[in-house]
Amino acid sequence: MQKRLSRAQEKVLQKLGKADETRDTAFEEGVANFNKQMAEGTKLQKDLRAYLAAVKTMHDASKRLQDCLADMYEPEWFGKEEVDTIAEETDILWSDYHDKLVDNSMIAMDTYLAQFPDIKARIAKRDRKMTDYDSARHHFGSLQKGKKQDQAKIAKPMSLVEKAAPGWAQGILSAHQIAQTNLTRNQAEEELGRAQKVFEEINVDLQDELPQLWNSRVGFYVNTFQSMAGYQQRFHKDMGKLNQDLNDVMTKLDEQRLAKPAPPGPAPVRPPPSPRPSLTPAPDTQQQDIILFDGEALVSDANTTAPSQATAPSQATTPSQPQVKAMHDYAATDGDELEMKAGDVVLVLAWENPDEQDDGWLMGVKESHWLENKDLLAKGVFPENFTQKL
């Protein structure tokens, strides 16, 4: 408490100009640089932490996006396994990038800033010791100045007490005053020596450390941003490759989509079927037109009902459309409809009565049935938009 009061008194006297203050311009410049360096480092640490938080946020967002793509990517689509692998490797890449930033840049940043609080405390201690030194110096100086005044007082006529004292006692009083003065002055001198020693020890250490710390900032900034730039370069390079792989998969998926026939629309709505004339040729017409398939005539024997172009076309069931191929399965919903599987080849027949033909519907018989049975008993109607002309 006594030291605090003494320091406060000394500061007041210095501000009032009644006591000089020890000044060190070089040291004050070093302290200014220290404060600037500490402020810049603290801001860099804050911004680096914000960057790491942003990387973590981007990692989480990327993972959710990749997981969403993997979940909705149907197994039969092209590159399902590749998409799952890309999602997994993307997550690993983000994690590795974040961990490298934390383990190297962030830890190095924390270590760099950890030295500032101790030095800051020592600078404050130096200021206190400098005040103690100035106070001791001023106290000793005032005693030195008062020494002459005390000697002058001793040389003056003795006080009434001294006059009243016996002659032998007067010498003792004078000697006591001189001894007290010398003791006080010696104590002040010793205190000055101790204060000066403590101040100079801490001052010398800081005079060496502050410039070294100031110069170290350049190397630290270089190492920090070089390592970060290296991590970013590798991360973006690897991420770019994964993005290219994903783009290639998407391109091939789109090519697969374009090459695959679009699913058919619903079969045309048929009006309620009206009784149709029998498609069996008249008794006097035992031969029907020849149905051509791949350029060859499918000629029936004497017991078949295969059509022949030699008979009357007005009564025959003749091919009036190309031959067609079923592109999609079609399940018959009526007794006169033709059931088809994708890939079936159907021989198209003309309607005996064109008025009975519904829009969007054709009549035919499967090629496989014709080749095996050589008859038209299995003919039926089917939606044209489920087939492709050959």
Instruction: Decide which of 206 and 13 is more confident.
Output: 206
Model confidence at 67, in pLDDT bands (50, 70, 90)? very high
Nearest to 143 by CA among 117, 180, 107: 180
Instruction: Decide which of 262 and 228 is more confident.
Output: 228
Instruction: Decide which of 319 and 250 is more confident.
Output: 250
Model confidence at 129, in pLDDT bands (50, 70, 90)? confident
User: What is the pLDDT at residue 214?
Assistant: 96
H or E stretch including 90? helix 80-100
Give me the torsion for CA of 261, 266, 272, 273, rounded to 10°. 10
- Indicate whether 158 pLDDT > 60: no
| CB neighbour burial string for 48-70, b if at least 16 within 10 angstroms, e if fewer | beeeeeebeeebeebeeebeeee
- Indicate whether 362 pLDDT > 70: yes
Whole-Å CA distances, 157 to 147, 163, 170, 313, 367: 18, 9, 12, 169, 154
- Indicate whether 306 pLDDT > 90: no
Who's near 264: CB < 8 A, 6+ residues apart?
Answer: 327, 328, 383, 385, 386
- Indicate whether 126 pLDDT > 60: yes
User: What is the pLDDT at residue 150?
Assistant: 54
Instruction: Decide which of 179 and 45 is more confident.
Output: 45
User: What is the pLDDT at residue 186?
Assistant: 82
User: What is the pLDDT at residue 357?
Assistant: 86
CA 343 to chain centre: 50
Q: What is the DSSP letter of 340?
A: B
Percent of the chain with pLDDT over 90: 51
Hey, what amino acid is at 368? S
Compute φ and ψ for 349, nearest 5 degrees. Answer: -110, 150
Could you tell me the two tokens for 216? 């170290």
User: What is the pLDDT at residue 130?
Assistant: 84
Nearest to 287 by CA among 313, 268, 267, 266: 313
Could you tell me the two tokens for 171? 């010498």
Number of neighbouring beta carbons within 10 Å of residue 380 = 19
| Alpha-carbon span 45 to 111, nearest angstrom | 11
Nearest to 185 by CA among 139, 232, 227: 139
Contact (Cβ atoms closer than 8 angstroms) between residue 231 and residue 97? yes
Residue-averaged pLDDT of the chain: 79
Compute φ and ψ for 317, nearest 5 degrees. Answer: -95, 100
Helix, coil or strand: residue 136? helix
Mean pLDDT to the nearest integer, 125-135 = 85
Who's near 165: CB < 8 A, 6+ residues apart?
Answer: 173
Mean pLDDT to the nearest integer, 52-72 = 95
Mean pLDDT to the nearest integer, 265-287 = 46
| Alpha-carbon span 193 to 114, nearest angstrom | 34
- Indicate whether 347 pLDDT > 90: yes
User: What is the pLDDT at residue 135?
Assistant: 81
User: What is the pLDDT at residue 267?
Assistant: 59
Burial bucket for residue 109 (CB in 10 Å: 0-12, 13-18, 19+): buried
